[in-house]
Chain A
Amino acid sequence: MKTLIIVAHPQLATSATQQFLQASAAPLTNVTWHALPAHLDLAAEQALLFGADRIVLQFPLYWYAAPAALKAWLDTVWQAHLVDAARGGRLRGKQLGLVVSLGQPAAAFQLGGAVGVSLSTLLAPYAALARRTGMTLLPPLPIAQFSYQTELAHQRLLIRYQQYLTAASQHFTDRQAWWQARLAQATPEQPALAEYVANQAEEYERLQDTLRELKAEDDG
């Protein structure tokens, strides 16, 4: 699976959040970090877009929306005759992810909160975009007040972001498979830990199989 990260940030070089995310993505294979340039080369942008399986739009929320560079990229690169699912769109079957950094606490983005509407409400246009183009929208990854977060929160974010970019999905079993694959590559090797995780995974699968059988019997 190839993942393309489209980064739209007016002050990329001085953004601690974006620098952290870039360093977090750097060791990953099949992940392309693409900071939007001031001038768009249409053919090059479309080649990147159509060559990816998972497209992650990454931006800070400015006035409750993405910075203008992202909208300009969408308006220029996502040409309707190429991406409209009803016209055989070239994005059909791909995944659309959203990594959104917030200047306010996550709890502000809810009914009755300081912002007063949810992040899902603010990001609704991307759901429409995914639907129109036949893409699967992934649950967004919000990053609230990165600079105020603890070191532990940053470490957790690093891994959560890597999983957002490379795990098959964020469902438990896919994250479990991600951990198993990464433990197999760990240097120095951790054979005992890898074996423990594998045994637990087998136990979980065995229990789920039995539960599926019981449920099938109940339904029958």
Chain B
Amino acid sequence: MSELEWAIASAQAAADAAPSYEDRAFYVALQDFLREQAHRVELAAGELDGRTWDHEAW
């Protein structure tokens, strides 16, 4: 299980155990954010790779 999968599973467990509607919504929406955050990190890492391997800069 990746760290992201673990985090999403943890948020889902927190949503399932949440005492109120608002708390449940919080942990459900958090899962969307966790995916978005991981995607942003991946994009930034990809951009960095691309710039580092820019052949014109060799």
Residues of A within 8 Å of B16, CB to CB, are none
Give residues of chain A (192-220) contacting chain B, Cβ–Cβ below 8 Å: 192-193, 196-197, 200-201, 203-204, 207-208, 210-211, 214, 218
Do A192 and B40 touch (CB < 8 A)?
A: no
* Complex CA–CA separation, A156 to B24 (angstroms): 10
CB contacts (< 8 Å) of A186 on chain B: these are 26
A20 to nearest B CB, angstroms? Answer: 10
Contacting pair B22 A27 (CB below 8 A): yes
Shortest beta-carbon distance from B2 to chain A in Å: 11
Q: How many angstroms between the C-alpha atoms of A148 and B28 in the bound complex?
A: 19
Residue of A nearest to B56 (CB): A218
Nearest residue, chain B, Cβ from A157: B25
| Nearest opposing residue in chain A for B32, CB measure | A156
Instruction: Flag whether A190 is at the interface (Cβ < 8 A).
Output: yes
Inter-chain contacts of B10 with A (CB < 8 A): 190, 192-193
Inter-chain contact A193/B37, CB cutoff 8 Å: no
**A106 on the interface (CB 8 Å rule)?**
no
| Segment 151-202 of A: residues with Cβ below 8 Å from B | 152, 154-156, 158-160, 172, 175-176, 179, 182-183, 186, 190, 192-193, 196-197, 200-201
* Chain B interface residues toward A at CB < 8 A: 3, 6-7, 10-11, 14, 21-22, 24-26, 28-30, 32-34, 36-38, 40-41, 44-45, 47-48, 51-52
Q: A159-B29, A204-B37, A214-B52 known; 12 other A-B pairs, CB under 8 Å?
A: A158-B21, A158-B25, A176-B33, A193-B7, A196-B6, A197-B34, A200-B41, A207-B41, A207-B45, A207-B47, A207-B48, A208-B44
